[in-house]
Structure 1
Amino acid sequence: MPGTESQRAFDLIEERFPANSTGSAASEGASAKLVFVAPDGEKVTDQANRAAVTEVVGKVGGLDQVVRAADPYGTAAVSKDGSTAYASVTFEVKAKDVDDAGLEGRFTEATGRELFAATSQLVHLAGWMAQDEGDTPELRGLAQGYYAHSFRLAAEAGDAELSATALRGLAVQCVDLGYRAEAVQLGEACVEYGRHLDNPRAVAYYEATLANAAAQDDDRHMATKHLAMSETAIGRPAVAGSDSWAAHYSPGRWAHESGMILSRLGDLDAAEEHLHLALDIHGLDRRRTRAIVLADLGGVRLRQGDIDGAMATWRDFLDCADGIRSVKVQAALRDMRVRLRRYSAVPEAQQLRERAGHITD
């Protein structure tokens, strides 16, 4: 309904993340992306997988109304680890005019919704992978496009949780890009979609999304309100057997995100407490997650004026970070090095900077 948070989300996405924003050709015709994921332990560049991908892309390129199906191997559209390949498809007509007469078989409306939902999940995963691959404008744009398309597919499926999860991805991107007002609006829509879900972890996920956006927008009242609501939700028993994206929002992830929201609000003691809780929950076996939490905890301790505590925490962070390939870890390393420049007269600070430099090189 026009005027609701959901309708505003649609309007905002069309304004900020248009469906076709890759150039003049795209503005004339619809576009789509084929995502190929290699089986566990294999790569899309392996001979058999490459042949299968090439065959599918060739068949798609030969369909009526298709102008071009780009070869992922010829357009550098393969992830660095070789697990995923992306093929861009350009149509000669707009999305609403794409003819499905060539599709074989028929299916019920319920099956159609299931197909939209499954595709939404896959596209969202592609967005997350693009976002985690690097911090370049190209990859950010690719992630935004995937998240926006995932939302549209989820809306077609009538799936509130998938819709909210896609909006969460876009809200986080807006925060990272400095679009604070847009992030809050997307967070509000995210919460609206998740309001009637029976999955408490999903509700906590979306409430924390809005709390974070509000904190970034310096709206303490809204941030505190929705942070409390997320805490209430995360404290409820998890839904057994749920395998949705939002269902994996664990108490540890909530504690970490809440700690950073509290840090943004200036409540450093509570932030430190939540980050310690996150470390206790995650344990020692999740190195990437633990490294990121330690990096954030070091920053909080520095803001508290505890320089020795900050350096001790960052020393543990470097022990965890060594050998981990992650955009977030690399960003944390750069942030730590910059903050330690102020302490050039402290030998340990310079040692930490040098260690971080070796890891980022």
Structure 2
Amino acid sequence: MTAASKRTSCTRCGASLAADNDSGRCAPCQRAERDRIVAAPDVPRSFWSHEPLHQALADRHLGRVVRAYRHHPYHGRQPLPQATVAGWFGMTQAQLSRIENGPAVVHLDRLAHWARVLRIPVHTLWFRLPATPGDASAPADVVEVGPHLIRALRSADRQVGGKNLYSTVLAHLALFSVPAGRPPAVSPQVLMATAALHEMAGWMAHDSGDSTTSRRHFLDALALAVDSRDALLVAQVHGSLSHLACHGGNAEAAISHARDGLGAIAQEDAGALIRARLLALQARGLAAAGLTADCHASLHRAEAAFAEAAPPPTEWLSPFDRTSFEIESARCLLRLGDVTAALGILNGSAADRPAHRVRSQALARMLLATALVGQARIEEACDLTHQTVELTHGLGSAVVLDQLRHLALLLRSHAVGCPDVPRLLDRLRDTIRERRWVALPLPTA
């Protein structure tokens, strides 16, 4: 028996671990550590009286404050990496290094933003924060910081899931959002950045199992994208609404949103990648409606658009890679009952194992397991499901959890004929119980 299998309690807080959790950390402690990818942790009040940090604040040099913050013993034996804290600020590691080691920054908008990100107590600062967070700093910060922030949030979301990050996105929306009754002078860049954050919040709410909140964010994103007059962003948000409608069983709305998105980019030369995604989403709606020939035609057009696509022209647009495209295609084929064709697509996707695409790889594996059950290849389906459980420890995704529940239902009828199934069903039951925190309500905006 290995040391990992003997470990029964969390090495950080001492909580009991599930029998199949060999990570050494309970789910809350895993979430607390992973949240640091994109947001500063809550720290005790005594944190700010640590002498190096107190001196840096007295010197009125925020770069030194950041360095003292990173090296605070509260974070453990090793200082927080510059790259981690740079991600909180929406900048590169090299930029943060120059701030830490260069002359003191004097621009109030930057000082205010960084102080809020680190949650520095107001009484320790040598400058006054703007009374309304969005008014004084949002336009400059969104244009300069926005793309880096969006990139960092997307990267973290793929690894830890929307449930772990939704509060973080809400906090950034509070800092950068265009306020209600926005003036007509707001720049398109600010509108696009805020739309991108709302769309991201919508996806994270969806990944948390809250379709109502997800739809509200998507509709806010659509209104802002329309105001920005960016046709590609408008089309992308229609794609998000199409996915949500299809997930909720509304095939007609899914098809309608996909077609609205395609209409928005009909004259856009740079829209091939979004066009591919919208055509794949339209195919999902058509498959759900039972329109087999139309579904295959839409998938064929999507493949052609994907083959000619270039990377997204702006940071506000989400990437749509080969794995994402194959998952959409396989969903269509499984819905149409073409298990053999779906297997042909998914075998390659499920074999790919990039560490930064945890949720996508989990979904690919579960779709493949579903297809294998359809061909009565139960032992292979069980192996893939075990892999998915191991892959997704600490992943805050209700979508993944629902797929695990679906696999448990499919496998239950094979419990007598395959000796691997009862053990897997026990593991799935324990996993679903351990991850019940994913179903907790989201914080309000």
Q: Measure the CA separation in 2 of the matches of 1:148 and 1:46.
A: 38
Q: Measure the CA separation in 1 of the matches of 2:385 and 2:316.
A: 34
Cα displacement string for residues 128-167 of structure 1 (whole angstroms, at most 9, x for unaligned residues): 22222x21xxx32111111011111111111111111111
Kindly indicate whether residue 206 of structure 2 is the aligned counterpart of residue 131 of structure 1. Answer: yes
Shift of 1:282: 5.0
Opposite residue 375 of structure 2, the aligned amino acid is Q
Q: Measure the CA separation in 2 of the matches of 1:178 and 1:349.
A: 29
SS in 2 for 1:83: helix
Shift of 1:261: 1.0
Q: Measure the CA separation in 1 of the matches of 2:42 and 2:297.
A: 46
8 Å contact from structure 2 (residues 169, 197) kept in 1: no
Shift of 1:335: 1.2
Question: Match for residue 192 of structure 2?
Answer: 117
| Greater per-residue strand proportion | 1
> Where do residues 33-182 of structure 1 align in structure 2 (5 Å cutoff)?
40-43=38-41, 49=116, 59=132, 83-85=168-170, 98=181, 100=183, 107=185, 112-132=187-207, 134-135=208-209, 139-182=210-253
* Structure 2 spans left out of the alignment, 5+ residues: 1-34, 46-114, 123-127, 136-162, 175-179, 434-445
Opposite residue 125 of structure 1, the aligned amino acid is M
> Where do residues 350-361 of structure 1 align in structure 2 (5 Å cutoff)?
350-361=422-433
Aligned pairs, number: 288
SS in 2 for 1:343: coil
SS in 2 for 1:232: helix
Which deviates further from its counterpart, 304-313 or 210-219? Answer: 304-313
Kindly indicate whether residue 329 of structure 2 is the aligned counterpart of residue 258 of structure 1. Answer: yes
Normalised TM-score (structure 1): 0.70
> Where do residues 1-361 of structure 1 align in structure 2 (5 Å cutoff)?
40-43=38-41, 49=116, 59=132, 83-85=168-170, 98=181, 100=183, 107=185, 112-132=187-207, 134-135=208-209, 139-197=210-268, 198-239=270-311, 242-246=314-318, 248-281=319-352, 283=354, 286-345=357-416, 346-361=418-433
Change (3 A) 1:58 1:333: farther
Q: Measure the CA separation in 2 of the matches of 1:341 and 1:240.
A: 43
Normalised TM-score (structure 2): 0.57
Change (3 A) 1:281 1:313: closer
Shift of 1:184: 1.4
8 Å contact from structure 1 (residues 263, 271) kept in 2: yes
8 Å contact from structure 2 (residues 242, 258) kept in 1: yes
Shift of 1:305: 2.5
Shift of 1:52: 8.1
Q: Measure the CA separation in 2 of the matches of 1:254 and 1:46.
A: 45
Shift of 1:194: 3.0
Opposite residue 189 of structure 2, the aligned amino acid is E
8 Å contact from structure 1 (residues 114, 157) kept in 2: yes
Shift of 1:353: 0.8
Opposite residue 263 of structure 2, the aligned amino acid is E
Percent identity (aligned): 20
SS in 2 for 1:130: helix
* Structure 1 spans left out of the alignment, 5+ residues: 1-36, 63-78, 90-94, 101-105
Change (3 A) 1:284 1:157: closer
Shift of 1:120: 1.3
Which deviates further from its counterpart, 249-258 or 190-199? Answer: 190-199
8 Å contact from structure 1 (residues 262, 271) kept in 2: yes
Q: Measure the CA separation in 2 of the matches of 1:255 and 1:298.
A: 15
SS in 2 for 1:305: coil
**TM-align CA RMSD:** 3.3
8 Å contact from structure 1 (residues 175, 183) kept in 2: yes
Which deviates further from its counterpart, 121-130 or 274-283? Answer: 274-283
Shift of 1:281: 4.7
8 Å contact from structure 1 (residues 38, 44) kept in 2: no
Q: Measure the CA separation in 2 of the matches of 1:191 and 1:52.
A: 48
Opposite residue 83 of structure 1, the aligned amino acid is T
Opposite residue 194 of structure 2, the aligned amino acid is T
8 Å contact from structure 1 (residues 44, 83) kept in 2: no
Change (3 A) 1:99 1:259: closer
Opposite residue 303 of structure 1, the aligned amino acid is G
Q: Measure the CA separation in 2 of the matches of 1:290 and 1:123.
A: 25
Opposite residue 196 of structure 2, the aligned amino acid is Q
8 Å contact from structure 1 (residues 191, 210) kept in 2: no
Shift of 1:250: 0.4
Shift of 1:51: 6.8
Which deviates further from its counterpart, 171-180 or 43-52? Answer: 43-52
Change (3 A) 1:185 1:194: same
Q: Measure the CA separation in 1 of the matches of 2:275 and 2:348.
A: 20
Opposite residue 252 of structure 1, the aligned amino acid is T
